[in-house]
Amino acid sequence: LAYVFGNRKDEIFLQLKALLAPFGISRFYTDDWGAYERHLEAEKHEIGKHNTQKIENKHLNLRTRIKRLAKEFNLLF
């Protein structure tokens, strides 16, 4: 969705947060970096990898299925 290059400073996170604002993100799953706690509302912020792993697993399955579909499509034509 968005990215910002820089050191792990509050200013860099605020730039990223501003870029993400138009997407209406309602939940943030992050590591334990202090800037997140300082600039995200507690009810919208969760520290940990549990939900990140679930999301990444869904993405992996989707990529795998798309590759298989593309391979079958190429075999047909």
Percent of the chain exceeding pLDDT 70 equals 100
What parts of the chain have a pLDDT lower than 50?
Answer: none
Whole-number pLDDT of residue 11: 94
**Best CA proximity match to 35, nearest among 60, 65, 9:** 9
For the record, the structure tokens of 9 come out as: 């400073």
**Best CA proximity match to 17, nearest among 2, 5, 33:** 2
Q: Is the dihedral of CA 21, 27, 29, 34 positive or negative?
A: positive
pTM passes above 0.75: no
Rounded CA separation 28/39 (Å): 11
Q: Which residue blocks in the chain are alpha helix, DSSP H?
A: 10-20, 34-39, 50-76
